[in-house]
Amino acid sequence: MLDLLRIEYKKLTPYPTFWIIFGLFFLFTPFVFYGAGQIKFDAFPIDFATIYNFPNVWNIITYIASWFNLLIGMLLVIIVCNEFSFKTFRQQVINGHSKADFIISKILLIISFSLLSTLYLFFIGAFFGYISGSEASILTNTKYLLIYFIQSLGYMSVALILAIIIRSSAMSIILFVCSIFVESIIRLFVPEVLASYFPMKIISNLTPFPSPGGVQVSSINAVITDSISLNISIIVAIVYIILFWGFSYIILTKKDIN
């Protein structure tokens, strides 16, 4: 399986878009996080600089990074759609890969991207935490990193299935970016009990909006939606991720490779 991942990185490391998008992620996340801590409202008696402290840092940095997750999702759409538009997926099947190899290699890529971005957040969070002189333990609330990792898997799994169904970069990116908004419109017409379980709602709610100023970070077991606890959201998100991977494989095997 690691051979499949090695081949994926052989394709990606010379690809400029890969470096540009990860570069934007690596640049913007700490930049926006730093900027958030510099906000000052005279009328608002909260010291935003406390967001750099442990354990606040984990909730806030993962929340900020969750928006840039969409960037990495877009990168995945481009990577998968390229395989169809360059017809390299077909060539690799002709050369001896199976359709399952294709899906497994993309899932491994998703996992590696998620790991990479989560590790990066860990280092950035730790850096800000230490330079802010915070005395709390670095490990407190690091569960947010695990939740961010699952969220990242979730977004990229949505990107994967969209790219496999649509096979066109432009259309898939538009649909991927709009999926949150499209889903919120659909949810208006669905009973609330069901609406809370829609995939993008579940995935986006994994990294909860921080409490004002990040000073009082919501508890890890806090209720984050109207009716679903974080733990339930994590389980449902994992189920969605597995379903997206499974459906991606089924769609790929049923369709001819043109």
Residues that bind other proteins (CB under 8 A): 3, 6-7, 10-11, 14-16, 82, 86-88, 90-98, 101, 254, 256-257
Where are the alpha helices (H) located in 167-229, listed in sequence order?
Answer: 169-187, 192-195, 199-204
Buried b (16+ CB within 10 A) or exposed e, 30-67: beebeebbeeeeeeeebebebbbbbbbbbbbbbbbbbe
Least spacing, CB of residue 77 vs other proteins, in Å: 17
Least spacing, CB of residue 119 vs other proteins, in Å: 26
Q: CB-wise, 38 or 95, nearer to other proteins?
A: 95
Residue 184 CB: number of other CB atoms within 10 A? 14
Q: CB-wise, 103 or 237, nearer to other proteins?
A: 103
Give the span between the Cα atoms of 77 and 167, in whole angstroms.
9
Least spacing, CB of residue 99 vs other proteins, in Å: 9
In the DSSP assignment, the letter for residue 48 is G
Least spacing, CB of residue 164 vs other proteins, in Å: 15
Give the span between the Cα atoms of 255 and 218, in whole angstroms.
46
Query: What would you report as the CA-atom Rg of the chain, rounded to the nearest whole angstrom?
Result: 19
Least spacing, CB of residue 90 vs other proteins, in Å: 5
Q: CB-wise, 32 or 251, nearer to other proteins?
A: 251
Q: CB-wise, 136 or 250, nearer to other proteins?
A: 250
Give the span between the Cα atoms of 113 and 74, in whole angstroms.
12
Q: CB-wise, 42 or 256, nearer to other proteins?
A: 256
